[in-house]
Amino acid sequence: MITIKDIAKKVGVSPSTVSKALCDRKDVSSTTKKRVKTVVEKLGYSPDSIARALVTKFTKTIGLVTLYIGNPTTIERIKGIQESAFHKHHILISCLNEGNIEEEIEQIETLISRRVDGIILTPVKYNEKLSKIIEKAKIPFVFMSEMLDGVDCDFAGDDDYEGGKLATEHLVTLGHKRIAYFGVSEEIYSDGEIRKGYRKILEQYEIKYDEELVTSGNLDEKALKANLTRILDFKNPPTAIFTWSDIMAIGIFKKLKKRNIKVPDDISLVGYDNMDFASVFHIPLTTISQPNYQIGSTAANLLMERIEIGNQLPPRKVVYKPELIIRESTIEKETKNGKERVN
């Protein structure tokens, strides 16, 4: 049986150097890595991951804990993480949840017990127990798309504040003043940032903020239906709706159709995510696009770099700018006096 000692003898280096080379460590030259790789292939050596972990203290395994609600954006992010991890010889263990904090905590504790080198986390919302686990963990965490107040970790995600501004300003400049926002919860970082952007634009255009037009809990089908029914029955209902996700927007579209309310003739509709189906829906959806694959890839690279460098650098944040994609679900608001525009 071929061992690391055999490889080291052939290459003319120490066994620890061979281990570092196989882990692609930066403190081993590219020339030495190539020599080790050549000998490994020639001798047909297959590394023992458990033995290697005992020597290097690294398992070359990273974990992912993220919310999954049938949302294709999650798949795109996982693809980005997976490919970046693969290129750097890391194995990814993915744990998906439906927004239950206790389940999220259990997944994190399980990954830690399995000795992953680090974890990419899309936290549901702030939780004191979760915060303490992250702070006491001896492995690094990277937040992806969502953050926790008061917890310093690397971050990769979208500028949701800017996304909220883009969507709201688009509707305002089309003449809409009664704009409803369908979200999840202010406790969720991305949702809170979108709401801030929404309010900023209303303030900028001197449009009064109406908290009754801002709804939460819309991942739940019954809550979504109840919130939509409530705001449509207002004496002065909204002329436009902006949602936290494209999936939510499509759900609203279907419910509007049942009430014979036409998009965009009767009400304009804007989503968030720019999923593939948004452009081919029978009324193509105006939406906010974010680079989900790149977000996932960046999160993975930040984590693998952090595993190697430790806490030598302060937390890093890579924030991508969102893009407004205008399609056929939004139109200029009409009034009895003709076109009404906001200057």
Clarify whether residues 250 and 332 are in a common domain.
yes
Q: Domain check: are 329 and 183 in the same one?
A: yes
With beta carbons less than 8 A apart as the criterion, state whether 116 and 62 touch. Answer: yes
**209 plus 331 within the same structural domain:** yes
Same-domain status, 236 and 284: yes
Round to the nearest angstrom and report the end-to-end CA distance of the chain.
78
Within 10 A of 102 (CB to CB), how many other CB atoms are there?
11
Q: With 0-12 CB in 10 A as exposed, 13-18 as middle and 19+ as buried, what is 209?
A: exposed
Question: How deeply is 137 buried, as exposed, middle or buried, from its count of CB atoms within 10 A (0-12, 13-18, 19+)?
Answer: middle
Provide the domain limits for residue 153.
Answer: 61-158+292-320
**What does the alpha-carbon distance between residue 25 and residue 118 come to, in Å, rounded to a whole number?**
16
Query: Which position has the token pair 């281990």?
Result: 19
Which stretch of DSSP H or E encloses residue 97?
Answer: strand 91-97
State whether 217 and 332 are in the same domain: yes
In the numeric block, which tokens belong to residue 272?
A: 């968030």
Shared domain check, 68 and 43: no
Are both 236 and 302 inside the same structural domain?
A: no
Specify whether 152 is located in the same domain as 228. Answer: no
Residues 260, 303 within the same domain: no
As a whole number of angstroms, the distance between CA 168 and CA 184 comes to 17
Full DSSP string of 145-203: S---TT---EEEEE-HHHHHHHHHHHHHHTT---EEEE-S-TTSHHHHHHHHHHHHHHH
Domain count, the chain: 3
Q: Which helix (H) or strand (E) holds 339?
A: strand 338-339
Same-domain pairing of 213 and 334? yes
CATH assignment of the domain containing 77:
3.40.50.2300
Can you give the CATH number for the domain in which 15 is found? 1.10.260.40
User: Do 195 and 329 reside in the same domain of the chain?
Assistant: yes
Residue of 37, 34, 45, 32 lying closest to 4 (CA atoms): 45
From first to last of its 343 residues, what are the pLDDT tens digits of the chain? 677 788 888 889 988 888 788 777 778 898 998 898 888 888 777 665 545 554 556 789 999 999 876 678 899 999 999 999 999 989 999 999 988 899 999 999 999 999 999 999 999 888 899 999 999 999 999 999 999 988 999 999 999 999 999 999 999 999 999 999 999 999 999 999 999 999 999 999 999 999 999 999 999 999 999 999 999 999 999 999 999 999 999 999 999 999 999 999 999 999 999 988 777 788 899 999 999 999 999 999 999 999 988 888 899 999 999 999 999 999 998 643 344 444 3
Residues 224 and 272 in one domain: yes
